[in-house]
Structure 1
Amino acid sequence: MNTTISNSTLKASIKHAGAELFSLTDNQNKEYIWEGNPDFWGKHSPILFPIVGTLRNNTYTINEKEYHLPRHGFARDMEFELVEKTENSAVFSLESNSETLKKYPFDFELQLIYTIENTSLNIEYVVINKSETKMPFSIGAHPAIALPEKFENYAFKFEKEESLKFNLLENDLISNKTQTLKTVESVVPLNYKLFENDALVFKTLESNSLTILENSKPYVKVDFEDFPSLGIWTKDKAPFICIEPWFGYSDTANNPGDLFKKEGILILEADQTFHSQFSIKIL
């Protein structure tokens, strides 16, 4: 099942499977979300929960008991319930169940709230800890922005002038090796060589937003003020770019395995609620 929301300028369509955004069009019917061609990457904008990235050996421990989670967790592969809908907004919910408890021993509710305002789609994450104990988790976004022209016609413009140091991935884990993106007035021209070692992982950034430029003109802006970390990724010769606001990232190679001690992890107290939001603005 799918749900569509709209206003006079934008229309967004969301799958109930994974509560995944799969289409964002303007009033000229121009599409801004990657189509999901499996020859490159068969997704559009998955939710990353309760981990972001990869665990060492896909394994972690809680109270010395071992559990297994796949890359980016399980929420993106589960059916969400549509719990509220208006013309320009929709609320989706996923609650813990017997299957999730085998992989992640906490009672939770995860909500995704999509709202269209003017030329922006706001995506809010709500995590409710329904357990009687503290709950460790990460959460992140993975929207793939469609790039209809030649890849090299695009560039990033970061909100602020800063040193854009990112960590390299090795076997899907965060390494200690870093590189720094070269910029001219905060602009980074796109080319596929940037991603020959997989995603660019920025543990911290001063910028709260990033604008994609098409032929030097503003195309799409992603605002991620609530999120401390950012991933940027594509596949070779793929006509999309993923701008990924994150809380958390892959394990380091020397991670001890205890989820409570994982670098970048969030800890939510019992009966408490976490909120974060990012937006995709069509320019």
Structure 2
Amino acid sequence: MKTVIKNAYLTATINSFGAELCSLKNKDNNEYIWEGNPEFWSKHSPVLFPIVGTLKNNSYQYNETVYNLSRHGFARDMEFKLIDKKEDSATFSLQSTEETLSAYPFQFELQIIYTVDNSNLSIEYKIMNNGNSKMAFSIGAHPAFALPGNFENYSIQFDKEQSLEYYLLENDLISNQTKKLEIQEGQIPLTYELFKNDALIFKILKSKSLTILENRNPFLRVNFKDFPSLGIWTKMNAPFLCIEPWFGYSDTNENSGNLFEKEGIQVVEENSTFRSEFSIEVL
């Protein structure tokens, strides 16, 4: 089922399957979200929960039991329930089930709230621990933005100046190898060569927003003030770019496998709620 929210500036469409944003258009009907052409990548903006990235051996341990979880977790492949709808906002909910408990033994509710406000679409995550023990998790966004025309006409710009060092992936796990992004006049030109080894992984960033520019003209900004980590990704020759705010990331080869020792993991106390929010601003 698809749900539409809108105001005078934006129209957003969300699929209840995965609570996935599948369209974001401005008042001129320009589309900002990748169409999901399976020739390149069939997703639009999947939600990553209860893990971000890949676990070592696709497994982890909790209370001396081994559990299996595939890349990016299960939320993106589950049906959410629409629990609140207004003209400019919609709230979706996913609750733990026998199926989820077999892979992730925690009683939870994940709510995702989409709201349009002027030229902003905000996406809020509420993660409720409904169990009687601490709950460990990661949560992340994976929106793919459509970049029509020549990919190399585009560049990105972080809001704060810093040395931009990113980690490389090796067999879907984070390696110890890092590289620095080359900045030219405050901007990073986009090339497919940048992504020849998969995503760029920033464990910690001073910047809390990133702007995509076309021919040096800003047209979209992602604001992620709550999120410590970020991924940037595309596929070779694909006309999109993913800007991915994260709490957590893939395992390293040194990871112990203990979920609560996982690098970047978040912990929410029993009967407590974790909240975070990011936004997409059409310029």
Shorter-chain TM-score: what band? over 0.9
* Matched residue SS, 2:251: coil
Do the aligned residues in 2 keep the contact of 1:113 with 1:123 (CA within 8 Å)? yes
Do the aligned residues in 2 keep the contact of 1:161 with 1:185 (CA within 8 Å)? no
* Matched residue SS, 1:70: coil
How do 1:50-65 and structure 2 match up within 5 A? 50-65=50-65
Q: TM-score, normalised by structure 2?
A: 0.99
| Separation of aligned partners in 2, 1:185 and 1:142 | 28
Determine whether 1:98 maps to 2:92.
no
**Cα drift, residue 185 of structure 1:** 3.7
Aligned to 1:11: 11
**Unpaired runs of at least 5, structure 1:** none
**Cα drift, residue 156 of structure 1:** 0.2
Give the AA of the match of 1:106: F
* Matched residue SS, 1:4: strand
Give the AA of the match of 2:258: D
Determine whether 1:112 maps to 2:90.
no
Aligned to 1:149: 149
Aligned to 2:187: 187
| Separation of aligned partners in 1, 2:9 and 2:29 | 10
| Separation of aligned partners in 1, 2:153 and 2:204 | 27
Q: Please give the per-residue CA displacement for 1:226-282, whole angstroms capped at 9, x wherever unaligned.
A: 000000000000000000000000000111100000000001100010000000000
**Unpaired runs of at least 5, structure 2:** none
**Cα drift, residue 98 of structure 1:** 0.5
Q: Please give the per-residue CA displacement for 1:156-186, whole angstroms capped at 9, x wherever unaligned.
A: 0110111000000000000010000010243
How do 1:233-248 and structure 2 match up within 5 A? 233-248=233-248
Aligned to 1:133: 133
Give the AA of the match of 1:104: Y
CA RMSD of aligned residues (A): 0.5
* Matched residue SS, 1:38: coil
* Matched residue SS, 2:183: coil
Aligned to 2:31: 31
Give the AA of the match of 1:122: S
How do 1:241-256 and structure 2 match up within 5 A? 241-256=241-256
Determine whether 1:261 maps to 2:261.
yes
Give the AA of the match of 2:240: F
| Separation of aligned partners in 2, 1:8 and 1:170 | 45
Q: Please give the per-residue CA displacement for 1:90-127, whole angstroms capped at 9, x wherever unaligned.
A: 00000000000000000000000000000010000000
**What is the count of residue pairs matched by the alignment?**
283
* Matched residue SS, 1:152: helix
Aligned to 1:213: 213
| Separation of aligned partners in 2, 1:280 and 1:203 | 21
| Separation of aligned partners in 2, 1:115 and 1:53 | 26
| Separation of aligned partners in 2, 1:279 and 1:148 | 22
Do the aligned residues in 2 keep the contact of 1:162 with 1:186 (CA within 8 Å)? no
* Matched residue SS, 1:186: coil
* Matched residue SS, 1:157: strand
Moved over 4 A (4+): none
Give the AA of the match of 1:233: W
Give the AA of the match of 1:236: M
Aligned to 1:166: 166
| Separation of aligned partners in 2, 1:132 and 1:180 | 44
Aligned to 2:89: 89
Q: Please give the per-residue CA displacement for 1:158-215, whole angstroms capped at 9, x wherever unaligned.
A: 1011100000000000001000001024310000000000000000011000000011
| Separation of aligned partners in 2, 1:102 and 1:10 | 40
* Matched residue SS, 1:210: strand
Aligned to 1:178: 178
| Separation of aligned partners in 1, 2:267 and 2:27 | 41
Q: TM-score, normalised by structure 1?
A: 0.99
Give the AA of the match of 2:246: W
